[in-house]
Structure 1
Amino acid sequence: MTVLLIALGAAVGAPTRYLTDRWLQSTRGTGFPWGTFTVNVAASFVLGLVLGGPAPHAVVLAVGVGFCGSLSTWSTLAYETVRLTHERARTASVMNVVASTLAGLGAAGLGLALSTVLWR
């Protein structure tokens, strides 16, 4: 049952990541990876929200592990950072890492804080 719950969450998270990335990249038209940044921050927020509340274990598996795990894409963050560096967009490269890390941690903290208010 554990694997099924994770797979169900991932089946929603992965297409959401792809569609969000494509949509943001087509509307922004910049070299900065806004799609990856957005899905990583969103997944961090949702994970903080889920783990901070009294969520049943099944929800943690489906949403926290499956959905958030497939929505976030830190390996793509690494790839895009290297790509920006190779394109000599060093400022964007550094900002990608710094902003993604700080925003992700902030979003997780915000989700955790919000869950404390909502569920307790």
Structure 2
Amino acid sequence: MTYVLVAVGGAAGSLVRYSLGKFISGKSKHSFPIGTFIINITGATFLGIVSTIGVSSNIMLLLGDGFLGAYTTFSTFMYEGFNLFQEKETLNAFIYILCSVILGLGGYWVGSKIGNL
């Protein structure tokens, strides 16, 4: 049952990430990877909420490990950050990477505070 919960959550999370990322990126006129940026920050915030509200282990497997694990994407984050460097957009690369890490940590912290209310 563990694997089914993670797989179902993961399938849903990856589909939402792909669709939302394409939608957001389609609206942006900049080379800055705003879709992945927004997805990773919101995912960190939601994980902070889910991990602190005291959900059952099955719900944590479905939402935390499955959905949010697939919704957020470290590999795409690295790929897009590296591409910004390759395209000589060094300032955007540093902004993207630093803000993603700082706001991701901040988002998780805010989510954990919300979850503890």
CA displacement, residues 29-63 of structure 1 (integer Å, 9 cap, x when unaligned) = 21000110011111101111011111000110000
Report the alpha carbon displacement of residue 106 of structure 1 after superposing the two structures with TM: 0.7
Report the secondary structure of 1:55's partner residue: coil
Matched letter for residue 16 of structure 1: V
- Structure 2: runs of 5+ lacking an equivalent: none
Q: CA RMSD in A?
A: 0.6
Q: How far apart are the structure 2 equivalents of 1:62 and 1:102?
A: 26
Q: How far apart are the structure 1 equivalents of 2:43 and 2:4?
A: 20
- Structure 1: runs of 5+ lacking an equivalent: none
Q: How far apart are the structure 2 equivalents of 1:76 and 1:21?
A: 11
Following TM superposition, the consecutive aligned residue runs of length 4 or more in structure 1 with deviations greater than 6 angstroms are none
Q: TM-score, normalised by structure 1?
A: 0.95
CA displacement, residues 82-113 of structure 1 (integer Å, 9 cap, x when unaligned) = 10001000000001110100111111001100
Matched letter for residue 79 of structure 1: Y
Task: Please show how residues 25-64 of structure 1 align to structure 2 within 5 Å.
Answer: 25-64=25-64
Q: How far apart are the structure 2 equivalents of 1:45 and 1:37?
A: 12
Query: What residue number does 1:110 align with?
Result: 110
Query: What residue number does 2:20 align with?
Result: 20
Query: What residue number does 1:85 align with?
Result: 85
Q: How far apart are the structure 2 equivalents of 1:24 and 1:31?
A: 12
The alignment of Structure 1 onto Structure 2 pairs a total of residues equal to: 117
Q: How far apart are the structure 2 equivalents of 1:74 and 1:35?
A: 13
CA displacement, residues 7-45 of structure 1 (integer Å, 9 cap, x when unaligned) = 111111001100111011110121000110011111101
Q: How far apart are the structure 2 equivalents of 1:24 and 1:50?
A: 24
Matched letter for residue 73 of structure 2: T
Report the secondary structure of 2:116's partner residue: helix
Report the secondary structure of 2:30's partner residue: coil
Report the alpha carbon displacement of residue 74 of structure 1 after superposing the two structures with TM: 1.0
Matched-pair identity in %: 30
